[in-house]
Amino acid sequence: EYMAWYGDLDDEIYDMWDNTVKSDPQYRKAYKLGIEGGSDKPPFPKGSFAATIWSNEYAAGAMDN
């Protein structure tokens, strides 16, 4: 029961994240560049939300490989 609840919560949070990062062109670009990989340095100003999005997706991709 806990795992089902946790899974549902995880899905909701992911959907919120996905909608947020795809709602703005700059954030959508950061998301795409993070997923695609490439340079290991963020192409966005340090501390910006776009850099955070890029870092999150880049790290997730690195863990998948």
Quote the DSSP letter at residue 41.
S
Q: Give me the pLDDT at residue 2, please.
A: 74
Predicted TM-score (pTM) of the model is 0.68
The pLDDT of residue 45 is 93
Q: Percent helix, strand, coil in the chain (nearest 5)?
A: 75, 0, 25
pLDDT of residue 65: 54
pLDDT (tens place) for every residue of the chain, 65 residues total = 778 888 899 999 989 988 988 898 888 898 888 888 777 888 899 999 899 889 988 888 766 65
State the residue for tokens 């609840």.
5
Amino acid identity at 15: D
Q: What is the pLDDT of residue 31?
A: 87
For position 17, what pLDDT does the model report?
Answer: 86
